[in-house]
């Protein structure tokens, strides 16, 4: 049965121009938005019009001083916030609509107006810290969205999954002391920003609610799917979140310039199907994805299409069959390291 899957998109996200040489170009979204007009994508999706987040919402996570710092970039020529993160004249508004668009999607999923949603937004967010821009990210949409869901929508427990090739340092730091938000990240070891080792498991009351899987390059579709099935699925069942948020980066594709993974379109469909199956089991299917990385303009539209089709129930990937093809040695290494670190907190079936 086809599900009601919402899509957040908007022209405002194309107006963020981060400067020459930055891989996060407007063309990323232009290529995806064009794909949404394909004949096989018609009649299945619901537009979720982005709204502009205000200061009160952004400062659920970010400091007021940082908000004002980003606000001051509005209307000005390119400003370097860090060596790799720049703001143009329309960047502040784009970032506000990105956070607000994700929140609109979360609100509609929570209210059961739609089953799930994908926020096709930019700039990305998962590297942004409380008071610092980083890695092309200005506001951490996922962190703001999770806190909004808790404080304004009265959801208590939230699972955040980050499958970008880079570790979501900002998101981890937002919740590392919080046992009501479980952060689960699979990323390539040794890449920017240098955080996310196995033994970063949370602090204080949040100990055990951060699960990092820094994996060596060379993992592909079957390995990723097997890792999600063997590690994420049992933990998610025990944690029992009321909402699943996904930082969906597509730079683990084998043709992406950012890293050394071997994912293909089929693999992204499989991990989306795996998470959807988990969401159906633990939280009534409430799953919202937010676009992070992914820089191969030729591959990106097809990957996003495959994920959207799984979310909408148009296709149904055989997750078990995909996982069964995994390189046992590669998967066993990740599983063993994870269990060694987390055995006192979680049961891995």
What is the rounded average pLDDT for all residues in the chain?
97
Please tell me whether the overall predicted TM-score, pTM, comes out greater than 0.95 for this model: yes
Q: For residue range 120-134, list pLDDT tens digits in order.
A: 999 999 999 999 999
For 22-74, how does the pLDDT look when each residue is reduced to its tens digit (9 = 90+)? 999 999 999 999 999 999 999 999 999 999 999 999 999 999 999 999 999 99
pLDDT 10s digits, 312-334: 999 999 999 999 999 999 999 99
- Locate 121 and state its tokens: 């937004």
**What pLDDT score was predicted for residue 1?**
59
Catalytic residue among 62, 86, 126, 127: 127
Using CA atoms in the order 294, 304, 87, 72, what is the torsion angle rounded to 10 degrees? -140
Digit-coded pLDDT (tens) for 80-90: 999 999 999 99
Question: CA-CA distance, 179 to 202, in Å (whole number)?
Answer: 9
Measured CA distances, 58 to 55, 290, 294 (Å): 5, 16, 25
Catalytic, 127? Answer yes
| List of domains in the chain | 5-342 (3.40.800.20)
Q: Sign of dihedral through CA atoms 130, 101, 232, 151?
A: positive
Please check whether residue 126 is in contact with residue 162, taking contact to mean a CB–CB distance below 8 angstroms: yes
**Exposed/middle/buried for 56, CB within 10 Å: 0-12, 13-18, 19+?**
exposed
CA angle 225, 256, 34 (to 5 degrees): 95
- From the list 123, 164, 161, 125, the residue with the least C-alpha distance to 253 is 164
Tell the burial category of 178 from Cβ atoms under 10 Å away from its Cβ (0-12, 13-18, 19+).
Answer: buried
Q: Please compute the mean of the pLDDT values over residues 136-154 and round it to a whole number.
A: 98
pLDDT by residue (tens digit) across 274-322?
999 999 999 999 999 999 999 999 999 999 999 999 999 999 999 999 9
């Amino acid at each position: 049965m086809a599900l009601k899957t919402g899509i957040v998109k908007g022209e405002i996200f194309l107006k963020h121009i981060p400067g020459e040489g930055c891989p996060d170009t407007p063309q990323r979204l232009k290529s995806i938005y064009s794909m949404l007009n394909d004949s096989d994508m018609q009649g299945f999706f619901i537009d979720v019009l982005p709204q502009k987040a205000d200061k009160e919402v952004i400062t659920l996570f970010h400091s007021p001083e940082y908000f004002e710092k980003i606000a001051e970039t509005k209307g000005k020529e390119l400003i370097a916030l860090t060596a790799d993160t720049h703001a143009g004249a329309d960047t502040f508004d784009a970032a506000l609509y990105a956070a607000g668009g994700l929140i609109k999607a979360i609100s509609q999923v929570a209210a059961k107006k739609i089953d799930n949603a994908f926020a096709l937004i930019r700039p990305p967010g998962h590297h942004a810290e409380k008071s610092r821009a980083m890695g092309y990210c200005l506001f951490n949409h996922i962190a703001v969205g999770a806190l909004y869901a808790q404080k304004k929508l009265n959801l208590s427990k939230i699972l955040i999954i980050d499958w970008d090739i880079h570790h979501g340092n900002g998101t981890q730091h937002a919740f590392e002391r919080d046992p009501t938000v479980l952060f689960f990240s699979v990323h390539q070891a040794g890449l920017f920003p240098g955080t996310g080792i196995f033994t970063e498991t949370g602090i204080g009351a949040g100990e055990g609610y951060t699960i990092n899987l820094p994996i060596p390059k060379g993992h592909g579709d079957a390995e990723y799917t097997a890792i999600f099935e063997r590690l994420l699925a049992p933990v998610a069942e025990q944690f029992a979140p009321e909402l699943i948020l996904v930082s969906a980066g597509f730079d683990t594709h084998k043709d992406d310039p950012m890293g050394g993974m071997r994912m293909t379109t089929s693999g992204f469909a499989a991990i989306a199907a795996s998470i959807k199956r988990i969401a159906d089991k633990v939280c009534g299917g409430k799953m919202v994805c937010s676009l992070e990385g992914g820089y191969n303009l030729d591959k990106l539209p097809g990957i996003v299409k495959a994920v959207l089709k799984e979310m909408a129930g148009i296709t149904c990937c055989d997750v078990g069959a995909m996982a069964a093809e995994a390189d046992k040695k590669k998967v066993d290494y990740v599983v063993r390291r994870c269990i060694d670190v987390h055995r006192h907190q979680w049961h891995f079936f």
